[in-house]
Chains A and B, each alone.
Chain A
Amino acid sequence: MRTAAELKLGEKAIIKDIDNTHPSSHRILEIGFTPGQEIVLLTKSIFNDPIGLSIRGTIFAIRKNEASCIII
């Protein structure tokens, strides 16, 4: 099982599920990371964390730890 935190730079993926045991999962769903949507890892910060994911035409900077609840 891979998560969005393991994406390579420029890699695309379709969201399979969101792990709702993560405390940030609800907010992540609310901002549009829903199963079936395509995400792209567009940028990474200097320390490879946070990462920049595009969803529905918007880029979100999001910590790797939180991105790990996005199952792809």
Chain B
Amino acid sequence: MTSTLTENKIPLITLVGQPNSGKTTLFNYLSGKNYKTVNYPGSTVEYSISKILGKFSINANILDSPGIISLIPSSADEKISVDSLFSHPKFGKPEIVIVTVDSSQLSRHLYLVKQLIDANFNVIVVLTMLDILRKKNLDISEIKLSEILGCKVIKIDSRSGKGIKDLLLSIKNSISETNINEELFPEMNIHNQKEKLLESYRHIEEIEKEVLFYKEPENGNNHFDINEVNKKLIVLNSIRLPNKPDNLTLKIDKFTLHKFWGIIIFFLVMSVTFTSIFWLASPLMNLINDMFSLLSSGSEVLFGDTLFGNLISNGLLNGLGSVLVFLPQILILFLILGLLEDSGYLARGAMLADKPLSMIGLNGKSFVPMLSGFACAIPAIMATRTISNKRERFLTIFIIPLMSCSARIPVYVLLVAFLIPQDKPWIGGIALSAIYIFSIFSSLIIASVVNKFQEKIIKESDNSSFILELPAYRKPKLSDVLNNTFKNATQYIKKAGPVIIYLSVFLWILTYFPNTNPQVNESGKSEKEISELKNSERIMTSYASSLGKIIEPVMKPLGLDWRVGVSLIATFAAREVFVSSLALIFKITDEGDNIQTSILKAMKDAQIENTGEKLFTTATTTGLIIFFVFAMQCLSTVAISRKETGSWRIPVLQILVFSSIAYVLSFLTVSGLRFFGIN
């Protein structure tokens, strides 16, 4: 399955359909979720591909594609999706195209079907969401629809597997048909003019009248009898189709989009989301941290104070821990976002946010990516793909690193703990919220400034548009949401994991070499003391400290010294590495107290070497917090920003702009506080 050759040789079935028409649900059923995701080379459009499960005995690849509304693309990403439907760069032309059609929105979804048939694809139409149609006491005659369209039409429910057997049979037959008839391959000959489109819709409306019929609610007997159905088939010519959206949805919208309640609900939802990210995740994060310090000390016992033992415990395990410690927050964020999306609220959130966001050059569709940015910038930047306008998309990507991602939390927690009195931990909560609100406002201000200069910075222009389907509210399906959450979390680990681990090992090398076996005065000291002395001697004479001393002049205006400088360099792996790297530099061992208490103690005692001034004061610590609010320190984010924007422009500008803002504001904060006598 991993070989490209075999993938190219066996038939390809591509799933096509409008967003939310049930493609992925069907894909998961047929692939058993054993997919891998592939990118269209050089772009952000992602596909899942898999072989059809062995038990279905069809030897073919199935490709789940991003939703498209029409074969005439209206954004760059849509164009790539459409182009690769005609000829995928890696998998070629599809032998079969399965179009998922939401039966409850028949006319709108048949439009794409007609285009695909006109383009000569070998089409199988799959009708989904029949349960929703049945709730309106309507049903579809797939036989008639098949006759009119001239292609196979199958009713399925891929959540239960109903109808899949028929689908498999059609696939088998179609594959053998295409083998005979290789010539019938799709050509691009799609109509573009308004008149043709209108004609298409007129035809579809005719079809709709022919195939939809009223059906009494079922009385326990679920068996489909075609003759029975045909007997009951009443042509809908004379009857008006109920074109009213779900009543309950309309009632709920009265509240969620209300001028007063709408705002209250919006902020309530947001606060619940963030509070749960913090409170639910924090015990799990502590657990992961504890587990890794246990593993780390275990490996020290096992390998002793050797090069190898140090590499394992301080290099590899440290890196792995930094990756995994965010997993709880990312999982919880995506779980909540998934629930909100599946319930239908997220689309309303985007609608509410559109007006204010559009005033600063963003889009309502920037709302969800920005929200994800509070967990991690990496999945957030990937989520901007739904924004069709390139300028708005790039601007969203530009400011996402300013969202207070979860990697900053351990740093803020430590620094805030340093600032506040020990006996009043609740002040910490307020301070943290204040930091969040500050970072949100700053990012909005920066977005509007960047928007002013957008010709210079973003360099893209496009028709700004916000057209978004407001789906009916419904109870979210937990298994789907969990599945998606899992997919997002794996993506995070895959994208961010390697970078963080390599950098951790690299940083470990910087702190361990060249003086690997320092000489210390061992007389009358215990083994543990000797080992600690060696550790600190090693780091004092390491490459990291030389590097730190080089950048010391830069740190001075911020009231900081080379040791904090080294820790800031270390944050390029991931921001939270700041904490563990401070621990390393201040020679804190895990034993006895918990690590935060020991770091806090070390911070209180730390002095600037030449002058003897205190290193961490209220002023310098606040300055550091400000620095972390703005600085673009995460190399994984830089990498993903490069990948998603397709050039180095945006990521380089992000580094330059955000780092300068961070530095200048941090400097102003420190000097300002000192000016007012706060030290």
Contacts and interface: CB of A to CB of B under 8 A. Distances in A.
Interface of A: 18, 20, 23-24, 26-32, 34-35, 38, 42-47, 49-50, 52, 54, 56-63, 66
14 contacts: A28-B467, A42-B250, A50-B466, A54-B244, A56-B105, A56-B108, A58-B108, A58-B469, A59-B249, A61-B364, A61-B469, A62-B467, A62-B468, A63-B466
Chain A CB within 10 A, most for which of B111, B243, B258, B463 = B243
Interface in B319-362: 347, 350-352, 354-356, 358
B107 interface: yes
A34 B107 CA distance: 11
A58 B364 contact: no
Contacts of B470: 43, 52, 59-61
A27 B74 contact: yes
B262 A60 contact: no
Contact of A31 (B108, B258, B263): B108
B243 A20 contact: no
A63 B69 contact: no
B223 interface: no
Contact of A60 (B70, B355, B469): B469
Given A46-B355, A57-B104, A60-B469, 5 more contacts: A31-B108, A43-B250, A52-B253, A60-B468, A61-B470
B198 A34 contact: yes
Given A26-B72, A66-B465, A35 B355 contact: no
A34 B201 contact: yes
Interface centre among A26, A29, A46 (most CB of B within 10 A): A46
B483 to A, nearest CB: 25
A27 B111 CA distance: 12
Contact of B69 (A23, A31, A59): A31
B525 interface: no
Interface in B99-125: 104-105, 107-108, 111
Nearest to B111: A30
B75 to A, nearest CB: 10
A47 B254 CA distance: 14
A55 B174 CA distance: 35
Residue of B258, B351, B352, B355 ringed by the most chain A CB atoms within 10 A: B351
A57 B136 CA distance: 11
A23 B467 CA distance: 13
The SS class assigned to the B binding surface is helix
A43 B350 CA distance: 14
A53 to B, nearest CB: 10
A49 B355 contact: yes
Nearest to A59: B470
A7 B133 CA distance: 29
Given A26-B72, A30-B70, A32-B201, A66 B352 contact: no
Interface in B424-483: 463, 465-470
B253 A43 contact: yes
Interface string B46-77: 00000000000000000000000110101000
A30 B507 CA distance: 54
A32 B107 contact: yes
A33 to B, nearest CB: 10
B253 A66 contact: no
A61 B119 CA distance: 30
Contacts of A38: 243
A7 to B, nearest CB: 15
Contacts of B467: 24, 27-28, 31, 60-63, 66
Contacts of A23: 463, 465
Contacts of A60: 467-470
A32 B111 contact: yes
B217 interface: no
A41 B197 CA distance: 24
A66 B468 CA distance: 12
B354 A50 contact: yes
A26 B70 CA distance: 10
B194 interface: yes
Nearest to A54: B245
Given A50-B355, A54-B244, A32 B257 contact: no
B612 interface: no
B556 to A, nearest CB: 48
A61 B69 contact: no
A30 B201 CA distance: 9
Contacts of B350: 61
B494 interface: no
B245 A59 contact: yes
A57 B69 contact: no
Contact of B194 (A20, A27, A42, A66): A20
B352 A45 contact: yes
B373 to A, nearest CB: 22
